[in-house]
């Protein structure tokens, strides 16, 4: 049996990282990393390295020749970026990692929030105008990753995923909050939402992970940036109504306060992943309703 290629995963204990481990362990020889000790949930056949990417001495203890690296380590909730501290930490972690590596291909998980507001589906060539500190963080880290590639030491690619849904999401995020709100509502009651009836492009985290694996397999070219999106525009109101349908819960009107929750809250964010679809066989396999079914079942089990 041929040996599996090595894959270093930073931020492996996070929401996306756990799915990367679950979906990738049969295809890659995974080395999962994080600041803490080995998680209880990590399968026995997956190696764990405790690494502080903010500490260059700690980073130096890692091998520098992984065939593949998936860089997920970062604060991932835009509302946490009220100061510049998470920005500076993310930039330093990315810089330390890129300085350390001496070969292989690195994929950086960026975000759709680096794009300027647009009423049209965004391609990779769409104008950039990061919203809030979170989007700016991703833009700065993209620049570091691109510079590492231009210096010829490692190959790099950048993924710009759109809105995630999936089991294991932080309970304070919008989608899990909607699930709880509908669950707790009286039958037939109106659902009051604090923000805008924004339109988003939702993807199941399992589909996003498969996109990351597909991007890692693309031969390096000068064009290294890939949207990861469904291209389907879904309003938050439609999400609320879909959750109610999944739960079998009769609800009344969905009412919005019509004001953004943060600098990152824009009315329409929808992506165009035609480039990724053309270069690979990737396409989303899990629809919104199925994603919400899995999420509600997971929430009920805890």
Give me the tens of pLDDT residue by residue for the chain, a chain 302 residues long: 568 999 999 999 999 999 999 999 999 999 999 999 999 999 999 999 999 999 999 999 999 999 999 999 998 777 778 888 999 999 999 999 999 999 999 999 999 999 999 999 999 999 999 988 999 999 999 999 999 999 988 999 999 999 999 999 998 889 999 999 999 999 999 999 988 899 999 999 999 999 999 999 998 766 799 999 999 999 999 999 999 999 999 999 999 986 655 555 578 999 999 999 999 989 999 999 999 999 998 766 55
What's the residue count for the chain?
A: 302
- Bridge-partner residues for 7, per DSSP? 30, 68
* 61 closest CA partner among 72, 73, 52: 52
Residue 195: per-residue pLDDT: 80
Domain boundaries defined on the chain: 6-166+202-231+270-284
Q: What interhelical angle do 174-184 and 288-301 show, nearest 10?
A: 70
What's the distance, CA 245 to chain centroid? 26
Residue 301: per-residue pLDDT: 52
Residue 172: per-residue pLDDT: 87
Residue 41: per-residue pLDDT: 96
Instruction: Name the architecture of domain 6-166+202-231+270-284.
Output: 3-Layer(aba) Sandwich (3.40)
- The string of DSSP codes covering 122-180 is B-TTSPB---HHHHHHHHHHHHHHHHHHHTTSSEEEEEEE-EEE-TT--TTSHHHHHHH
Q: Is 278 exposed, middle or buried (0-12, 13-18, 19+ CB in 10 A)?
A: exposed
What's the distance, CA 12 to chain centroid? 12
């Amino acid at each position: 049996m041929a040996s599996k290629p090595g894959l270093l995963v930073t931020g492996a204990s996070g929401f996306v990282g756990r799915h990367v481990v679950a979906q990738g362990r049969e295809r890659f020889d995974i080395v999962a990393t994080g600041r803490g000790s080995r998680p209880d949930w990590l399968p026995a056949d997956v190696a764990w390295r405790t690494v502080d990417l903010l500490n260059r001495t700690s980073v130096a203890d890692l091998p520098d020749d992984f065939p593949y690296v998936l860089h997920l380590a970062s604060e991932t909730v835009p509302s946490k970026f009220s100061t510049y501290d998470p920005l500076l930490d993310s930039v330093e972690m990315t810089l330390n990692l890129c300085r350390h590596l001496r070969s292989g291909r690195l994929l950086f998980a960026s975000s759709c929030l680096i794009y300027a507001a647009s009423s049209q589906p965004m391609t990779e060539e769409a104008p950039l105008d990061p919203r809030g500190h979170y989007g700016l963080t991703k833009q700065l880290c993209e620049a570091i990753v691109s510079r590492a590639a231009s210096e010829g030491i490692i190959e790099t690619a950048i993924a710009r995923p759109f809105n995630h849904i999936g089991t294991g999401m932080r309970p304070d995020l919008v989608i899990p909050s909607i699930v709880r709100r509908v669950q707790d509502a009286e039958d037939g009651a109106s659902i009051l939402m604090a923000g805008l009836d924004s339109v988003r492009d939702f993807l199941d985290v399992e589909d996003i992970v498969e996109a990351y694996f597909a991007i890692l397999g693309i031969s390096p070219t000068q064009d290294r940036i890939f949207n990861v999106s469904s291209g389907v525009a879904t309003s938050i109101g439609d999400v609320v109504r879909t959750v109610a349908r999944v739960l079998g819960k009769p609800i009344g009107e969905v009412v919005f306060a019509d004001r953004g929750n943060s600098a990152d809250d824009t009315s329409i964010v929808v992506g165009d992943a035609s480039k990724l679809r053309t270069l690979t066989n990737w396409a989303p396999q899990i629809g919104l309703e199925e994603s919400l079914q899995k999420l509600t079942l997971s929430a009920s089990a805890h």
